[in-house]
Structure 1
Amino acid sequence: MSLKASVFIATSLDGFIAREDGSIDWLNVANAVVPEGEDCGYASFMDSVDVLVMGRNSYEKVLSFGAWPYQDKQVIVLSSRALEIPNDLSSNVVHSAETPAALHQRLANQGFKHIYIDGGITIQRFLAAGLIDDITITVIPMLIGQGKSLFGELEQDILLKHIKTKAYDFGFVQSTYELVKNM
């Protein structure tokens, strides 16, 4: 079986994943309307994942949350620069400077089945390399006007096949797409 690479992320209605300074305060405000116990499928998704691959900016943002949310998952942080990993995370978090293609191949060779790709630049790099299989985007009903775009500029069109869309009573809309690999 080949290695599946998935994206599971939230954006503002205008397509941003964070403010220019990396702040996700707008997402915290929006999450206040989510009923207790509702996670929009995140726990189920995480149960299907073997490894989480994220960029340095996402890693540093998650570190700022306090408690590390991925205790039982291996996390690979992609960065070309040296990375400081706290001792209490060193058994689950590793640094890699590999290209997306090299990392994907290594993880496939190691027998992993499903990786979660997180962080705008990391997602963009995996997309450009043709390595993303599916994308789930939860659109938050908020306009923030400017920030860090989920997709950024593309070198070529990427065709997607719609799989499903779910509208939540509290206003979030979640769509899942598969990438069409042969256009």
Structure 2
Amino acid sequence: MTMNYVYIATSIDGYIATNDGGIEWLHEQPNPTGSDYGYSEFTNNIDALVMGKNIFEKVRTFGEWPYKKKVFVLSSKLTDVPSELLGKIEFISGESNEVLEVINSQGFDNLYIDGGKVVQEFLSNDLIDELIVTRLPILLGKGIPLFGELAEPLRFTHKNTEIYDNALVKSHYVRAK
């Protein structure tokens, strides 16, 4: 059975980045314990990542490639894989359903879906099975929202909520079908 997960952080007001794609505010939150807040445990249970071009380009600015799993980058413009990422990423384009068929046919069933536009597209096509959203205690007031318009409501069931460092609130939701 294939499963598609979103694991993402937002501001209290639901933004994943500033208007210019900035995410520096994510790193301003003190982390006295050095915890990864469950991220490693989550990624141990996925087969691959699916991300958009914008988040791919942002991650490239971090220096060393942070992912140990295969990454599929949705882009109709990018086609040449940088030499240092050969075997680590694959560019793919098409409608979300088609993209999933190609990825699943390669044996990748548990997918981490990342990037604002990609998450919104997958949600609008009802292709997200679980949402894990961590809210940081900051109001950005404007920026790139996590959620966009939907043709009809999507209902989720609350699985659990954890609070880290008395500041970050991570809530896990499962699609109610």
Calculate the TM-score normalised by the size of structure 1: 0.92
Q: Is the 8 A contact 1:11 1:140 kept in 2?
A: yes
Q: What 5-or-longer segments of structure 2 have no aligned partner? A: none
Q: Which of 128, 140, 143 does residue 136 from structure 2 map onto?
A: 140
Deviation of the 1:8 alpha carbon: 0.2
Q: Paired residues, what number?
A: 177
Per-residue CA deviations over 1:63-95 (Å, capped at 9, x if unaligned) read: 01111101x311000012134432010111110
2:80 equivalent to 1:81: no
Deviation of the 1:50 alpha carbon: 0.6
User: RMSD across aligned C-alpha pairs, in angstroms?
Assistant: 1.2
- 1:42 maps to a residue whose letter is Y
Q: Is the 8 A contact 1:51 1:73 kept in 2?
A: yes
CA distance in 2, matches of 1:54, 1:163: 25
Q: Which of 32, 36, 39 does residue 35 from structure 1 map onto?
A: 32
- 2:97 maps to a residue whose letter is A
CA distance in 2, matches of 1:128, 1:153: 8
Q: Which of 110, 123, 128 does residue 114 from structure 1 map onto?
A: 110
Q: Where does residue 61 of structure 1 map in the other structure?
A: 58
Q: Where does residue 123 of structure 2 map in the other structure?
A: 127
Calculate the TM-score normalised by the size of structure 2: 0.95
Q: Name the stretch that deviates more: 153-162 or 18-27.
A: 153-162
Q: Name the stretch that deviates more: 39-48 or 74-83.
A: 74-83
CA distance in 2, matches of 1:111, 1:25: 35
Q: What 5-or-longer segments of structure 1 have no aligned partner? A: none
Identity rate, percent? 42
